[in-house]
């Protein structure tokens, strides 16, 4: 069933798709020990794109051992300048093959090509940013007493297990890989079983860049046994996990029980997007449909709880509905605004929530049904779905649906909207729209979220820390914070 239009893909993309896939261990492409594979499927049309190796515990052992040996014998001896050059070279090769990476991301994940371009650009920027950090890993000195030199030195942790979700496969892999390498760690990278292709292609570029063998290893497979064998492996020193809160808590539990490895968890979200009546409504109108439905709602940071102050409620809701109706939906290769959901199982989960929302008395003002368009029938397409409801205790308001579904609600006062915004187990991101500096800064003080956007949404930069509070996670990615996540600091007392 060949439906993907291969003729518009780069030759390199097609060649890679047709090539046999392997695990990447010690700079070599190797078959999984059990010779077991699983399909990579295009969510836009159900086509099987490639067969992906399923790594079991034995393969994980090999990858971790390769990383450990590389750490002890190679990477630790590599000068910061050389590390920096290698990381930069990798980013250059990604720029060269940017179109291939975009195409792989689009057909494997479903996202539109221009959104995949944003992801690849962001990944490249991350490598360039952290290439600079490799030469700047400093400690501190402390003037404590006479005749003593007291200082700290920053050291790599060792073997880092990097576990990535399916919604931004390449970009999130880079958020982890770039600082981990710059800090001197060796890595075992595991993409989601739903989106392995761009990471495996990255492996070819890592090989071409000239990294010493074993510095980066890539294993593919699902949560159990691949991911679980990795996080419980005694030679892994660092776990960096991005994914659901449920799995993050499981991993944290395992870690507490067995290992006490350094751990960072970037988990789910259900972010409040708060619009006061003095907001610039044109700016709100240009942003709200994107902050609700970007990546078909499959993004942890999206503003899926929208609170609008009463005097402007009807106007803003109307604006959101109109703009959302205009969003085009289709196969990512045709560059629509929104692509499909990742798979049928996920679509069914989202549809169940919509059903629940209706039964709980939500007023469904847009969407809510799988799209019934002949050309899209084989994909997992669902259009923007908007509920109006004022009960914050409902599952559609409390749970992370991770699809194109938002709940809109009205509020009266600042105090009320703060209470409602904070009445969530999550605390990833938030946004406030107002012309009043005082309202904006009071919101910043009161909100329980790791990021606050004022009169904007979903802005990121490799230099700015990102990470959630409460059930949204532990630790930060990006910026100087990521350097702290991938190093340990040793205090030295030298009495002379």
Between strands 148-156 and 141-142, the pairing is: antiparallel
Instruction: Quote the CA–CA distance of 331 and 296 in Å, as a whole number.
Output: 12
Which one of the spans 25-33, 113-121, 241-249, 357-365 is the region binding ligand NAD (CB under 6 A)? 241-249
Question: Which residue out of 65, 117, 300, 485 is catalytically annotated?
Answer: 300
Dihedral sign, CA of 171, 174, 179, 180? positive
Of 66, 216, 247, 338, the residue at the interface with ligand NAD (CB under 6 A) is: 247
Instruction: Quote the CA–CA distance of 385 and 368 in Å, as a whole number.
Output: 5
- Least separation in angstroms between residue 75's CB and ligand NAD is 24
Residues in contact with ligand NAD, shown as a per-residue x/- string from 397 to 436 under the rule CB under 6 A: ---x-x-------------------------x--------
- Residue 336's CB is within 10 A of a number of other CB atoms, namely 19
Residues linked to residue 163 through DSSP beta bridges, in sequence order: 190, 241
Of 31, 74, 235, 244, the residue at the interface with ligand NAD (CB under 6 A) is: 244
Does residue number 1 form part of the binding site for ligand NAD (CB under 6 A)? no
Q: Is 300 a catalytic residue?
A: yes
What are the C-alpha distances in Å from 393 to residues 100, 360, 389, 425, 470? Answer: 45, 11, 10, 11, 18
Instruction: Give the position of tokens 């070819």.
Output: 204
Spatial contact of 163 and 49, defined as CB atoms under 8 Å apart: no
Of 110, 214, 268, 368, the residue at the interface with ligand NAD (CB under 6 A) is: 268
Q: Which residues contact 437 (CB under 8 A, 6 or more apart)?
A: none
Does residue number 269 form part of the binding site for ligand NAD (CB under 6 A)? yes
Dihedral sign, CA of 160, 486, 271, 416? positive
Report which DSSP code applies to 12.
H
Of 224, 438, 445, 494, the residue at the interface with ligand NAD (CB under 6 A) is: 224
Of 227, 330, 340, 357, the residue at the interface with ligand NAD (CB under 6 A) is: 227
Which one of the spans 48-56, 144-152, 223-231, 333-341 is the region binding ligand NAD (CB under 6 A)? 223-231
- The tokens for 103 are 């195409």
- Least separation in angstroms between residue 406's CB and ligand NAD is 15
Spatial contact of 329 and 381, defined as CB atoms under 8 Å apart: yes
Task: Considering only CA atoms, give the Rg of the chain.
Answer: 23
Question: Rounded to an integer, what is the distance from CA 382 to the centroid of its chain?
Answer: 21
For 30, phi then psi, to 5°, come to -125, 150
- Least separation in angstroms between residue 221's CB and ligand NAD is 7
Spatial contact of 266 and 188, defined as CB atoms under 8 Å apart: no
Of 97, 103, 108, 266, the residue at the interface with ligand NAD (CB under 6 A) is: 266
Residue 75 or residue 486: which is nearer to ligand NAD going by CB?
486
- Least separation in angstroms between residue 316's CB and ligand NAD is 25
Instruction: Quote the CA–CA distance of 219 and 67 in Å, as a whole number.
Output: 12
Restricted to residues 442-481, the positions that interact with ligand NAD (CB under 6 A) are 468, 473
- Residue 198's CB is within 10 A of a number of other CB atoms, namely 26
Give the dihedral of Cα atoms 23, 28, 31, 37; nearest 10 deg.
Answer: 30
Residue 103 or residue 400: which is nearer to ligand NAD going by CB?
400
Instruction: Quote the CA–CA distance of 68 and 178 in Å, as a whole number.
Output: 18
- Least separation in angstroms between residue 241's CB and ligand NAD is 6
- Least separation in angstroms between residue 268's CB and ligand NAD is 4
Of 46, 80, 212, 222, the residue at the interface with ligand NAD (CB under 6 A) is: 222
Residue 86 or residue 247: which is nearer to ligand NAD going by CB?
247
- Least separation in angstroms between residue 152's CB and ligand NAD is 29
Residue 195 or residue 410: which is nearer to ligand NAD going by CB?
195
Residues linked to residue 155 through DSSP beta bridges, in sequence order: 488
Residue 254 or residue 358: which is nearer to ligand NAD going by CB?
254
- Least separation in angstroms between residue 163's CB and ligand NAD is 5
Q: Is 266 a catalytic residue?
A: yes
81, with CB counted inside 10 A (0-12, 13-18, 19+), is exposed
CA atoms within 13 A on the CB side of 445: 8
Restricted to residues 154-213, the positions that interact with ligand NAD (CB under 6 A) are 163-167, 172, 190, 192-193
- Least separation in angstroms between residue 463's CB and ligand NAD is 17
Residue 254 or residue 376: which is nearer to ligand NAD going by CB?
254
Instruction: Quote the CA–CA distance of 490 and 217 in Å, as a whole number.
Output: 28
What are the C-alpha distances in Å from 487 to residues 182, 263, 374? Answer: 10, 12, 53
Q: How many residues bind ligand NAD (CB under 6 A)?
A: 31
Question: Which residue out of 117, 193, 266, 299 is catalytically annotated?
Answer: 266
Residue 178 or residue 267: which is nearer to ligand NAD going by CB?
267
Residues in contact with ligand NAD, shown as a per-residue x/- string from 285 to 304 under the rule CB under 6 A: ---------------x----
Which residues are known to be catalytic?
A: 266, 300
Q: What is the contact surface with ligand NAD in residues (CB under 6 A)? A: 163-167, 172, 190, 192-193, 222-224, 227-228, 231, 242-244, 247, 250-251, 266-269, 300, 400, 402, 428, 468, 473
């Amino acid at each position: 069933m060949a439906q993907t239009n291969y003729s518009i893909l780069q030759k390199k993309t097609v060649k890679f798709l047709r090539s046999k896939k392997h695990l990447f261990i010690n700079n070599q492409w190797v078959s999984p020990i059990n010779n077991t594979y699983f399909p990579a499927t295009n969510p836009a049309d159900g086509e099987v794109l490639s067969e992906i190796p399923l790594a079991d515990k034995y393969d994980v052992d090999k990858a971790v051992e390769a990383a450990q040996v590389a750490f002890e014998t190679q990477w630790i001896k590599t000068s910061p300048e050389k590390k920096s050059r290698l990381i930069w070279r990798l980013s250059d090769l990604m720029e060269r093959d940017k179109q291939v990476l975009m195409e792989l991301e689009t057909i494997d994940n479903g996202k539109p090509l221009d959104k995949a371009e944003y992801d690849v650009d962001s990944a490249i920027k991350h490598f360039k940013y952290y290439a600079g950090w490799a030469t700047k890993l400093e400690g501190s000195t402390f003037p404590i007493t006479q005749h003593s030199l007291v200082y700290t030195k920053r050291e790599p942790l060792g073997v880092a297990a990097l576990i990535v979700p399916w919604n931004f496969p390449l970009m999130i892999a880079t958020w982890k890989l770039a600082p981990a390498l710059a800090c001197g760690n060796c890595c075992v990278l595991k993409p989601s079983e739903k989106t392995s292709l761009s990471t495996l292609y990255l492996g070819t570029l890592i090989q071409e860049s000239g990294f010493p063998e074993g510095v980066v290893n890539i294993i593919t497979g699902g949560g159990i046994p691949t991911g679980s064998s990795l996080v419980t492996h005694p030679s892994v020193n660092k776990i960096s996990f991005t994914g659901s809160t449920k799995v993050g808590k499981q991993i944290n539990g395992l870690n507490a029980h067995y290992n006490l490895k350094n751990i960072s968890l970037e988990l789910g979200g259900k972010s409040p997007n708060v619009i006061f009546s003095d907001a610039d409504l044109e700016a709100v109108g240009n942003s709200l449909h994107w902050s609700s439905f970007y990546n078909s709602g499959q993004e942890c940071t999206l503003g899926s709880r929208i609170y609008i102050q009463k005097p402007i409620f009807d106007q803003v809701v109307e604006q959101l509905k109109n703009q959302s109706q205009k969003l085009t939906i289709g196969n990512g290769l045709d560059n629509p605004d929104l692509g499909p959901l990742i798979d049928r199982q996920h679509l069914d989960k989202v549809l169940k929530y919509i059903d629940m929302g209706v039964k709980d008395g939500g007023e469904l003002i847009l969407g809510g049904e799988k799209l019934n368009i002949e050309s899209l029938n084989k994909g997992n397409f669902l259009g923007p779905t908007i509920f109006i409801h004022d009960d914050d205790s409902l599952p559609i308001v409390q749970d992370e649906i991770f699809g194109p579904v938002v709940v809109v609600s009205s509020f009266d006062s600042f105090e009320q909207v703060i209470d409602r915004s904070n009445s969530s187990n999550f605390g990833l991101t938030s946004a406030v729209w107002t012309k009043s500096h005082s309202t904006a800064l009071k919101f910043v003080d009161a909100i329980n979220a790791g990021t606050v956007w004022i009169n904007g949404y979903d802005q990121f930069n490799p230099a700015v820390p990102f990470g959630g509070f409460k059930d949204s996670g532990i630790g930060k990615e990006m910026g100087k914070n990521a350097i702290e996540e991938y190093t340990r600091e040793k205090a030295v007392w030298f009495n002379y």
